[in-house]
Chain A
Amino acid sequence: MIRLKSRATLVASAIAVAALTASTSLVAVSSANAALPSWCGPKKITMGFTDGFGGNSWRLVTTAAVREEVKLCPNVTKLYYADGQGKTDKSISDIKGMVAKGVKALVVFPDAGQAMLPALRSAYKAGVVTVPYRVAPGGTAGKDYDIFVGSDFVLAGKLWGEWIKKNLPNGGNILRISGPAGNSQGADESKGLAMVLGNDPKYKFIGADPFEVTGWDPGKTQEVLTAAIAKYPKIDVITSDFGPSMVSALQAAVASGWKVPAIATSDGNVLGCFYQDNKATQADFKMMTISTQNDHSRLAVQWAVALATGGKKPSDKAYPSTLFEDSVSGKPSAVQCRKDLPGDVYLSAKMSGDAQAKLKTN
């Protein structure tokens, strides 16, 4: 047994032990905080994510991105998810349900656009940090919801337009395809296209204005494309903001002897593989894609968590539209196809294709 020689030595030892314990704790806390992203504040919350339509692979990957992003902030103790199934009334009910559950932050994909505004306003007024993203719900930030995290879809349309102008300098007929009627994404993309090509009489927009309605549904896309092929003898370019939804329609049309026109769209493994499978037999088949933006939801999550937990707000208020593949220039990338992965994988996403292939709904 060690005996301390004096009272002074005893006190000094106690002070030394206390100092050592305090410094160790400080290092541990610092290490833990250093791992947290800046948008993850100290307050603990539960959070909700409501999707207007969760029933396709794009939504599956986007929702997985939400879950992955939320996991980075352990102060979000629970994430609730609801799928509106493409029904406006259910989507509204989902928002109200989240508020009733007591979530402190809510990210919403308001597919129905302005029809969702009253529900968003109601959640906002109930004190829930409300962040709609991607499809504009109308209204005013700070009055109807906290912030709308959009994307510059006009730029997306401009990127398509510039590529069309460069690769089809002699002009042509352009068929525009988008999702539900009235969706702001399709409208903005058409606006961007018109800014680049609208004043040039060589380029003519055919089909419905501002776009043919497909609801981003592969079945409806097939119907629309079939009708367009029957109605218009010459289609030189197809633009679409959900490229993979066109593939089954394109395959059926090619099987019937149709020549595939140039395509300007968003990426998907199935589309890239369609290009690779058909470029040899389809003369002068050109394609470009912009990123399909699965990670747009991550920015919305960062905003919602930052506002609800007291974290640092992100610097970006909109998710960028960026080029992904170009079959002509090969920049920033040639058209990609991973035969070892399922077709419904998006190689532009932050989540790897292998991880996407293993995703389940829950």
Chain B
Amino acid sequence: MSALRRPLPGWVEIGLLPLANIALAFLVVGLIVEVIGVDPFHALRLLVMGAVGSSESIGYTLYYATNFIFTGLAVAVAFHAGLFNIGGEGQAYIGGLGCGLAVLALDRYLPGLLMIPLAILASAAFGAAWAAIPAWMQAWRGSHIVITTIMFNFVASALMVYLMVNVLIAPGSMTPQSRGFGASAAVPSMQAALQWVGIAVGPSALNLSLLLALLCCVGVWIFLWHTPWGYGLRTMGHNPEAALYAGTSLKRTTMLAMCLSGALAGGVAVNELLGVHHRLLLDFAAGYGFTGIAVALMGRGHPLGIVLAALLFGALQQGGAELAFEIPAITREMVVVIQGLVILFSGALVHLPRPWLQALFARRS
């Protein structure tokens, strides 16, 4: 992924460097906030309180984090194979199509215990299929996967608009969305689930999809570091020549990595459609795909790091919303600005703090 610079001690690399990147991003944000006439520290306080100040806010933070975990894992799996999957948005979107189709067709006939797993599988399958095409183009035609996945995002968008407006729209509805899903297709909200075990929390969009996301984290960890296919995938990502030497098929591994990636992106649909909106609608995946890249980069491609990074971005999203609510001068888009800056500093300018960190820690050796 990045060039080999002089390595810093392990804990600095994994712990301090990402923090330094974020600190730089926040510095710039502070400047912008100052420019529009708001006290940055006041804004920061509001942001933090908004993210974790009450059980509702924590709920929303975790709900956003769930989506980021899915897309972060998706990007990470592809990254480990040396592939840059920018198509998370489109794959999540089409995954939603699969989910919606399964539910709309079968929610009257199947009980929840069967419907929900089926919908999850459909989500994963459709997301995987949408990723499989650019994967095939890369493996067999050499088409640059970055360009193709970007294009496929737009095609997915157009396709979904067409389908929603013309085919799947609920009869008599003014807005392009499907009819409501049946009760058997509803993933229980976290509030309801916790109530069941006697814990009372405020209402939020957080639902049990979070558990699915965490399960996926474990699954990805096992797959990448504890199976021979994950081993082959990581080998290809580091060193295609070594992968060839080991007898790994580069083409098949590319397909595997991208399909897994797309399937994981489909998890966003599970969270949004089965957990929150309970119907198929437009643009439910907006923004999560690109931010997933930042999450994967900040989390250094490891599920644990991804969870932490997802929590951070979830907090930013929720805190930013609250901030916008409290201070009229700051709009919701501030969150987008913060996201952009974090992506910039954690992804493109990753090694910027290195000289200072090297000066601090090189004294040891």
Q: Do A and B bind each other?
A: no
A interface list, Cβ under 8 A from B? none
